[in-house]
A and B are shown apart, each in its own frame.
Chain A
Amino acid sequence: MSERALAEAVDLTRTYGGIRVLEEVSLSITPGITTVVGPNGSGKSTLLGVLAGAVEPTTGAVRYAHEGNADDGNDKRIGYLPQRVPFRDEFTARETLGFYAALVGDDPNAALADVGLADAGDKRVSTLSGGMRRLLGIAQATLGDPAVAVLDEPTSGLDPEMRERAFRAAAGRASDDTAVVVSSHDLDLVDTYADDVIVLDRGRVAVAGSRDRLIDDYGVDDVKGLYRAVVSDRASAESDIDTGDTDGDEGSKGADETTSESVHVTGVSDR
């Protein structure tokens, strides 16, 4: 593992029913914001699930910088927000975070305030908007100051203002010793916030590295241009860009299809 890496994936492959969703993926996660982009079905959610430990790879492994530390096992080292925010509807936002905060000795009120939900603490999860749920999810994932926070499409199904807010909240957690890994179809926000970019295509890493270096290398203006340049199925990539929202999440269907520039649903959900 390189000196700066907080996590390193080596030859990750994941199959479902014999079909390869992720294929021999190797990459390093360094401090800062790492964004994972790619067409629907390219394996983003699977990769993030594997990084978070929620999905076991068929072959390969993820190594973390904290492994072997004396206090390993007593602290939360990885934060995870799945694509579908899973909290119990009957709990309030504060109760939800209170449960998780109690497991790591953190302050739920401070976490709510960090994502701008201080006034919504007493609202039940079932009454929160999709955006507020995702902000709650981001607050949960970053409780206990994990070295790596993995956020699967935190802007999915949100209006432009909420997308910006969610991305800003996620980016606010990245630091010199903390990595935030975010998957997103919103290439404008990715371009604004990403330190590193990973482009997945058909389960493989099409390209990965520093945003600035990749844009220079490919002679493009931004991440959208990079995406167009590297995704193998150009026609598909062209049709994916510039329309609307995301895949797989119930709350996102039909939302924002023309509100901002991002990657379009192709009808194939990430697994």
Chain B
Amino acid sequence: MSRLLADIGTVFRRELVTVRRTPGYVVLAVGLLIVLGGLAAVGGGGGTGFVPAVVDFLLPTEILVPLLAIVLGYRALLTDTTSGEFAVIRTYPVSTVDYVLGVLLARIAALVAIVGVPFALVGLYVWLTAAPDTGIFATHSGVDSPLLFVRFLAFVLLFGTAYLSLSAAVSALASSRRSAIALGLLALLVGVLGGDLAILRSLSGGASPSEISGLLALTPNGAFRGLVFEHVIGVAFAPDGGFVQTGRAVGSLVSWILAGIVVAVTTLTYAAGVDVVVERTQERLGEY
């Protein structure tokens, strides 16, 4: 176990150094901060409190966070496979699972910095400038509170991690930077729009509206939105909730994270084997 953690830690540190030395990521964080600051200023969230600010942020967050997560992750595993360094790493006693986890954890740390810090700074700004008393740490519903924003931030990071894991899977599946960009954009499009469109389609196909909360939780965006409504926005004005089943939504986001890891590990482990099967088939067909 300690060996496993040591190997993950070694890969993690290497990846973190790479991220730290990529100036573009700082630009992303600054860009997000400017966008969030602008939304807070235009929407008036800075003057009215955390919940109005979260309402202003919700839709842009559903697009920007997946986009940033994909930018952070689409080359995470591709870099080593295309350069040939992964072939070298495989000669060392580090498993593919350890390698993928080390890379992904470092990218999650980067996500926390690039996405989490701008959100936290805007939250601090709201706390300092909001007209209503937002200094109350609410223990009951109906009161705006910094804790609601902390919850929102936690959901944002969980949501971003789901997309980051999926983009890591994309980076394992892609064979070039160009194909990684194409697959990443496809994942973004399907994730952001696909889930809602699928729900609309199922409703038009006769599905009961009562099933919406259950269906909503299945996609990353739906799960995130449901959690924000249930535990942040709804707390202030709809304490009974009912937007989404919390366990199901959190389980869905965790499942997407695990799915990304499984796809990435499986691809890196078996891609060469698949290639060989294709070659064998091609050779057999050539014999006939």
Q: Which residues of A contact B (CB under 8 A)?
A: 14-18, 49, 52-59, 73-76, 78-82, 84, 86-88, 90-91, 95, 99-100, 102-104, 140-141, 144, 146
CB distance from A27 to the nearest CB of B (A): 20
| A80 touching B87 in the complex, CB below 8 Å, given contacts A15-B283, A75-B93 | yes
Lowest 9 A-B CB distances belong to which pairs?
A: A54-B87, A86-B84, A86-B85, A86-B83, A103-B92, A56-B272, A102-B10, A18-B282, A90-B21
Complex formed: what's the CA distance from A59 to B284 in Å?
A: 12
B10 in contact with A88 (CB, 8 Å): no
Question: Using a Cβ–Cβ cut-off of 8 Å, how many residues does chain B contribute to the interface with A?
Answer: 30
Complex formed: what's the CA distance from A84 to B84 in Å?
A: 8
Q: CB-defined interface of B187-206 with A at 8 Å, one 1/0 digit per residue?
A: 00000000000000000000
A49 in contact with B92 (CB, 8 Å): no
Q: Which residues of B contact A55 (CB under 8 A)?
A: 272
Q: Which residues of B contact A53 (CB under 8 A)?
A: 90-91
CB distance from B96 to the nearest CB of A (A): 13
CB distance from A259 to the nearest CB of B (A): 27
B273 in contact with A18 (CB, 8 Å): no
Nearest A residue (CB) for B79: A88
Complex formed: what's the CA distance from A148 to B156 in Å?
A: 48
B272 in contact with A76 (CB, 8 Å): no
Nearest B residue (CB) for A18: B282
In chain B, positions 70-110 with a C-beta closer than 8 Å to chain A are 79-80, 83-85, 87-88, 90-94
Complex formed: what's the CA distance from A6 to B7 in Å?
A: 27
| A76 touching B93 in the complex, CB below 8 Å, given contacts A54-B87, A84-B84, A102-B10 | yes
Complex formed: what's the CA distance from A173 to B259 in Å?
A: 43
A18 in contact with B279 (CB, 8 Å): yes
A104 in contact with B17 (CB, 8 Å): no
In chain B, positions 174-229 with a C-beta closer than 8 Å to chain A are none
Q: Which residues of B contact A82 (CB under 8 A)?
A: 84, 87-88
Q: CB-defined interface of B2-25 with A at 8 Å, one 1/0 digit per residue?
A: 010011001001100110010000
Q: Which residues of B contact A73 (CB under 8 A)?
A: 93
Q: Which residues of A contact B90 (CB under 8 A)?
A: 53-54
B238 at interface, CB cutoff 8 A: no
Complex formed: what's the CA distance from A99 to B286 in Å?
A: 45
Q: Which residues of B contact A103 (CB under 8 A)?
A: 7, 10, 92-94
Nearest A residue (CB) for B274: A56
| A74 touching B282 in the complex, CB below 8 Å, given contacts A49-B87, A58-B276, A82-B84 | no
Q: CB-defined interface of B246-288 with A at 8 Å, one 1/0 digit per residue?
A: 0000000000000000000000000011011001101100100
